[in-house]
Amino acid sequence: MCDCLCDGSPVEDKRGLYKYNARQWETSMLHAGCNQPLGCLAAMCFPCCCAMYLRYKALNEDMSKYSCCQGFICPSITKCFPGQDDCPWCCLCLEVTLCESCAISATRIYVQVERQIITDPCDNRIIRFNNFMQILSCVCNILAIFIDGLDALAALIDLIADIVYCLTQACMQAQTFHELKLHPTATDYDGVSGGAITQQPKMQQQHPAQHHHQPGNFNAIQQPYPPQQQQQQQQYYPPMAYPPQQQHQQQQAYPPQGYPPQYTPSAAPYPPQQHYPPRQ
């Protein structure tokens, strides 16, 4: 139960709609009431009117792009509804009146996919808590039919579920309105257009002398190795601090100079030579 309510992971994407998400919402649903208080208050009081206005703005005021729930919710069924091309305003009015929650969610998903916005984990927790409260309210009302004494509990849970839904849809519409107000079109994000990303951004390569290690800096992996000349200087043997080879040989020359000592004959004359055998 706790994992179901507190899990912030995105839902399973079977259609590949969120494959190239790269941006974040300008405000999360948790802070949408503070960052866009008037939009949140208007969505609480007039949810259907705000849903129609946001869909019109999300489509860049071009109702020729309209389809029921924009094809994100039960596309095999919603595409069969008549009048979507001939009278889109009437279909949109029926959509937000009969399926208010689906219409609000469809507008948000359309903006998210078109502008490549990452799903915020806190938003998923809020949405899942709201869905849980609606299911709990439905279950309690069914049980109150067969069990006496559960009417009061079911009515209390109904009230809590309605309050949770009112706050959730208001924050969701305020979040979408804040995004559309800051970026009316998908091309207003620093000149980068929306749609599928066809090429991954390249890492900027810095010069080795300009590289500084920073936590989380992945560009460090892309740094080039030092030049070959520097590697040879670092691996040079013998080290440059050793004396030159010529001086080394002079200091350790063998045999040393002056060895062996030269024999110098004495100044005194040798004795005269005698014949042998001696003469008579």
131: pLDDT strictly greater than 80: yes
pLDDT tens digits along 214-261: 444 444 334 344 444 444 445 555 555 555 555 444 555 556 566 566
8 Å CB contact between 104 and 169: yes
Q: d(Cα 77, Cα 98) in Å, to the nearest integer?
A: 15
pLDDT reported for residue 9: 62
Cα 30–Cα 135–Cα 168 angle in degrees, nearest 5 = 20
pLDDT tens digits along 164-185: 999 999 999 999 999 999 998 8
Q: Which of 176, 13, 169 is nearest to 107 (CA)?
A: 176
Placement of tokens 């004396």 in the chain: 243
pLDDT band at 78 (very low <50, low <70, confident <90, very high): confident
128: pLDDT strictly greater than 90: yes
Q: Which of 122, 121, 140, 132 is nearest to 165 (CA)?
A: 132
**Within 10 A of 46 (CB to CB), how many other CB atoms are there?**
12
pTM over cut 0.85? no
Concatenated DSSP letters of 9-35: PPPP-SS-TTTT--B--SS-TTTHHHH
Per the DSSP assignment, residues forming a β-bridge with 117 are: 23
Cα 84–Cα 90–Cα 96 angle in degrees, nearest 5 = 95
pLDDT reported for residue 240: 54
Percent of the chain with pLDDT over 70: 60
pLDDT reported for residue 80: 87
pLDDT band at 79 (very low <50, low <70, confident <90, very high): confident
Instruction: Return the domain boundaries, the chain.
Output: 20-182
Concatenated DSSP letters of 128-171: HHHHHHHHHHHHHHHHHHHSTT-HHHHHHHHHHHHHHHHHHHHH
Q: What is the mean pLDDT of residues 31-37?
A: 93
Distance linking the first and last C-alpha atoms of the chain: 144
pLDDT reported for residue 273: 61
pLDDT band at 264 (very low <50, low <70, confident <90, very high): low
pLDDT tens digits along 140-152: 999 999 998 899 9
20: pLDDT strictly greater than 80: no
Q: Which of 56, 60, 59 is nearest to 48 (CA)?
A: 56
Structure tokens at 223: 């740094």
Quickly list H helices, the chain. 2-6, 32-35, 37-45, 47-58, 75-78, 88-98, 100-114, 121-146, 151-182, 228-234, 245-251
Of 30-34, 194-198, 199-203, give the range with the top mean pLDDT: 30-34
41 residue type, one letter = L
Q: What is the mean pLDDT of the chain?
A: 76
Q: What letter would DSSP give residue 189?
A: B
SS3 192: strand
Per the DSSP assignment, residues forming a β-bridge with 23 are: 117
Radius of gyration of the chain (CA): 43
